[in-house]
Amino acid sequence: MQINNFIGPIPASVGNLSKLRWLDLADNKLSGPLPISRGSTAGLDMLVHTKHFHLGRNQFSGEIPDQLFSSNMTLKHLLLEQNQLTGKIPLSLGLVQTLEVVMF
């Protein structure tokens, strides 16, 4: 789903795709915050078996949620470059022991 003209936020329901291994939404016009779980609504933090988050070159804004990362994630690539993210890099990123590539 890379290099399209998708607009708006990532639907939180993407967090229900528990078998998803690669999420590539780079080079679109997606915006808003990165969705995390809230109550019964799933978010990207539920994708613990996903190896690749390629979300660069969009229009995401706000802080990277600390709840996005956990020690049971198997994430290898985290690509968030060329967005409008603000704030600090979350300390929880250090919990993801499988990370090989990170781009902000």
66-82 average pLDDT score: 98
Banded pLDDT at 1 (limits 50, 70, 90): confident
Residue 50 sits in a domain whose CATH number is 3.80.10.10
- The torsion angles phi and psi of 68, rounded to 5 degrees, stand at -65, -30
The number of domains in the chain is 1
Edge-to-edge strands, sheet with 22-24:
22-24, 52-54, 77-79, 101-103
Q: What is the pLDDT of residue 9?
A: 98
- Name the pLDDT band for 67 (thresholds 50, 70, 90): very high
Q: What dihedral do alpha carbons 28, 34, 36, 38 form, nearest 10°? A: -100
pLDDT in tens, 8-59: 999 999 999 999 999 999 999 999 999 999 999 999 999 999 999 999 999 9
Q: Domain span at residue 48?
A: 7-103
In a domain? residue 1: no
Q: Are the beta carbons of 70 and 44 closer than 8 angstroms?
A: no
User: What's the pLDDT score for residue 52?
Assistant: 99
N- to C-terminal Cα separation, the chain: 20
